[in-house]
Amino acid sequence: MAFKFPSDEWIKELSRQLNASETYEKSAKDWEGDFIFVVEPDDAYPQTAYLYLDLYHGKSPSAKQLSGPDEKQAAYTLSAPFGTWRQVIEGKLDPIQGMMTRKLKLKGNMMKVMRYPKAAKEIVACCALVPTEW
């Protein structure tokens, strides 16, 4: 079964994949900080979507699609158009490189994020495990 991106089911499946990943757990064992992923409209996707991912010490305690930007506060907000998210999820754009080139716009402590490149790569690896319907 494929999960439509972006959706509540997709982000919950990503959370499940992260919780099952020993590699992610090791690479993010000291990480504390949740994310809101903002999927901005582009030619392929007409609206804005907000996905929340709680990350804490190598696990993902919760995840859900938000109804709007003010529903939940998070330590980090990462924004990009739908097509850029697709590139990240398909492994065509490294998330750290995306932040450095401003293809992905980060609100939050960039220096802390930069100290966990392996964790970022493992999140993308887990994204690739989610059967995704575009």
Q: How far apart are CA 8 and CA 105, in angstroms?
A: 22
CATH number for the domain including 92? 3.30.1050.10
Contact 38, 11 (CB under 8 A): no
Amino acid 28: pLDDT = 96
Query: What 8-state DSSP symbol labels residue 45?
Result: B
- Asked if the model's pLDDT at residue 53 lies above 90, the reply is yes
Q: How far apart are CA 44 and CA 5, in angstroms?
A: 12
Task: Provide the residue range defining the domain that includes 78.
Answer: 3-133
> What's the predicted TM-score (pTM) here?
0.94
> Pick the residue with more confidence: 100 or 36?
36
What tens digit of pLDDT does each residue of 13-48 get?
Answer: 999 999 999 999 999 999 999 999 999 999 999 999
Q: How far apart are CA 14 and CA 47, in angstroms?
A: 21
**Domain tally for the chain?**
1
Amino acid 1: pLDDT = 86
What tens digit of pLDDT does each residue of 54-99 get?
Answer: 999 999 999 999 999 899 999 999 999 999 999 999 999 999 899 9
Return the C-alpha torsion angle 117, 18, 38, 1, nearest 10.
130
What are the beta bridge partners of residue 80? 39
